[in-house]
Amino acid sequence: MSARKAIEKGDLDRFEELALKGEGLLAHAARALMVRFEESTLKEMGARAQAAARRHVARMRFPVRLLGFVAVVAPLLGLLGTVLGLIISFDSIGGGAADAGKAVTMAIGIKVALMTTAFGLIVAVPALFFAFIFNHKLRLLVTDCEVASDELLHDIGRLRRRAAASVETTEEEAASGPA
């Protein structure tokens, strides 16, 4: 990861450039780390990165939630078709003597009932399967991003400590004067 190497080398300009050019969850979190970098504490930077990541994850979850919605609604639409098909079937039975027309109408109603149920399940089962897979992949991505963000934040903290130690050493050398 070149962003991490930039932090390790203390090249914050390169890190910021990579964060601005990058796409995806970690890039959003990295950009948030760099906002008001100089005056922010590590805790504030971490909170900003988490908030940016949460916003990006919410946008990424929409298609997964849409698949879940389809998985729930498709069987309900199938059930609606089943009810309508049964209504057609029962209407054909009502009144008068049995004839070939009533039998055809009843068969059509049963066919509608079975076909809509089948189509509802044909849509719902794969949608539910893919929603599960994509939700799992999204969780893994979020976990990986959390780990990478924590590592970046740790590296930034180490970089700040080194910079502070370097400033203290320079100040001590300046205070001691020429030997």
Mean pLDDT of 140-156: 87
Mean pLDDT of 124-129: 95
Q: How confident is the model at residue 19 (pLDDT cuts 50, 70, 90)?
A: confident
Q: What is the pLDDT of residues 58-78, one digit of tens each?
A: 999 999 999 999 999 999 999
Handedness of CA 142, 148, 149, 150 (dihedral sign): positive
Cβ-in-10-Å burial (0-12, 13-18, 19+) of 143 comes to exposed
Q: How confident is the model at residue 98 (pLDDT cuts 50, 70, 90)?
A: low
- Contacts of residue 37, Cβ cutoff 8 Å, sequence gap at least 6: 12, 45
Mean pLDDT of 132-152: 90
Mean residue pLDDT of the chain comes to: 85
Mean pLDDT of 100-120: 89
Mean pLDDT of 29-38: 84
Segment among 36-40, 107-111, 168-172 with least mean pLDDT: 168-172
Number of domains, the chain = 1
Q: Which position has the higher pLDDT, 94 or 46? A: 46
pLDDT at 179 over 60: no
Range of the domain at 7: 2-176
Q: How confident is the model at residue 177 (pLDDT cuts 50, 70, 90)?
A: low
pTM metric for this prediction: 0.70
Q: How confident is the model at residue 139 (pLDDT cuts 50, 70, 90)?
A: very high
